[in-house]
Structure 1
Amino acid sequence: MNKIENINLLPDTEPDSGDYTGEDGLLYCGKCRKPKEAYFPEGKTLFGLDRHPAECDCQRAQRIEREAAEQQRRHLDTVENLKRRGFSDTAMRDWTFENDNGRNPQTAVARFYAEHWDTMQAENIGYLFWGGVGTGKSYLAGCIANALMENEIPVRMTNFAAILNDFAASFEGRNEYISRLCRYPLLILDDFGMERGTEYGLEQVYSVIDSRYRSRRPLIVTTNLTLQQIQNPPDTAHARIYDRLLEMCAPVRFTGGNFRRETAQAKLERLKNLMNE
Structure 2
Amino acid sequence: MSNLFTERVLNMTAVTPQPEDYMGEDGLLYCGKCHTPKETYFPEKQAALFGRDRHPAECDCQKAQRLEREAAEQRRKHLDTVEDLKRRGFTNPTMQEWTFANDNGKCPQMEIAHFYVEHWEIMREENIGYLLWGKVGTGKSYFAGCIANALMEQEVAVRMTNFSAILNDLTASFEGRNEYIERLCRFPLLIIDDFGMERGTEYGLEQVYNVIDSRYRSRKPLIVTTNLTLDSLQNPLDTAHARIYDRLLEMCAPILFTGENFRRETAQAKLNRLKELMK
Bin the TM-score by the shorter chain. over 0.9
| TM-aligned CA distance change 1:29 to 1:189, over 3 Å | same
Superposed, which structure 2 residues align to 1:132-147 within 5 Å?
132-147=135-150
Q: State how far apart, in whole Å, the 1-side matches of 2:134 and 2:15 are.
A: 68
Whole-angstrom CA distance in 1 between matches of 2:234 and 2:113: 23
Q: Over aligned residues, Cα RMSD in angstroms?
A: 1.6
Partner of 1:27: 29
Report whether the alignment pairs 1:93 with 2:101. Answer: no
* Shift in Å, 1:42: 3.2
Mapped partners of 1:3, 1:209: distance in 2: 67
- For residue 17 of structure 1, the aligned residue among 16, 19, 34 is 19
Deviations 1:178-214 (A, max 9, x none): 0000000000000000001000000000000000000
| CA drift at 1:12 | 5.3
Answer yes or no: is 1:68 the counterpart of 2:81. no
What is the distance in 1 between the residues matched to 2:19 and 2:181?
A: 63
Q: Distance in 1 between matches of 2:251 and 2:184?
A: 16
What letter corresponds to residue 175 of structure 1 in structure 2? N
Residues 207-238 of structure 1: CA distance to partner in whole angstroms, max 9, x if unpaired?
Answer: 00000000000000000000011011110000
- 1:42 alignment partner in structure 2: 44
Distance in 1, Cα, partners of 2:73 & 2:55: 27
- Large movers: runs of 4+ above 6 Å: none
Distance in structure 1 (CA, Å) of the matches to 2:161 and 2:141: 10
In structure 2, what is the equivalent of residue 54 of structure 1?
A: 57
| Correspondent of 2:258 among 241, 248, 255 | 255
Q: Structure 1 residues 43 and 181 mapped into 2: Cα distance closer, same or farther (>3 Å)?
A: closer
Structure 2 unmatched ranges of 5 or more: none
* Cα distance between partner residues in 2 of 1:248 and 1:62: 49
**Which residue does the alignment assign to 1:178?**
181
Distance 1:114 1:274 in 2: 41
Scaled by the length of structure 1, the TM-score of the pair is 0.96
Q: Does 1:207 align with 2:210?
A: yes
Distance verdict in 2 for CA 1:30–1:121, change over 3 Å: same
Question: What TM-score comes out, normalization by structure 2 length?
Answer: 0.95
Q: Distance between the aligned counterparts of 1:257 and 1:83, measured in 2?
A: 29
Shift of the 11–164 alpha-carbon distance from structure 1 to 2, 3 Å rule, reads farther
CA distance in 1, matches of 2:249, 2:8: 65
Matched, 1:166 2:150: no
**Pair 88,109 (structure 1): closer, same or farther in 2 beyond 3 Å:** same
1:148–1:11 distance in 2 versus 1, CA, 3 Å: farther
State the shift of 1:8 in Å: 4.1
Change in Cα spacing, 1:98 to 1:12, as seen in structure 2 (3 Å) is farther
Corresponding residue number in structure 2 for 1:241: 244
Residue type matched to 2:191 in 1? I
Cα deviation, residue 26, structure 1 = 1.1
Residue-by-residue CA offset, 1:110-137 (whole Å, 9 max, x unaligned) = 1111110000001000000000000000
Q: 1:172 to 1:152 in 2, by over 3 A?
A: farther
- CA deviation after TM superposition for structure 1 residue 23, in Å: 2.3
Distance 1:201 1:250 in 2: 25
Residue aligning to 2:127? 124
Asked if the contact 2:14–2:55 (Cα under 8 Å) also holds between the matched residues in 1, the reply is no
1:173 match: secondary structure: helix
Q: Is the 8 A contact 2:124 2:188 kept in 1?
A: yes
- Is 1:84 the counterpart of 2:87? The answer is yes
- CA deviation vs aligned residue, 1:95-122 (integer Å, no higher than 9, x gap): 0011101111110111111110000001
CA distance in 1, matches of 2:76, 2:57: 27
Name whichever structure is richer in helix by fraction: 2
Greater CA deviation, 3-12 or 227-236? 3-12
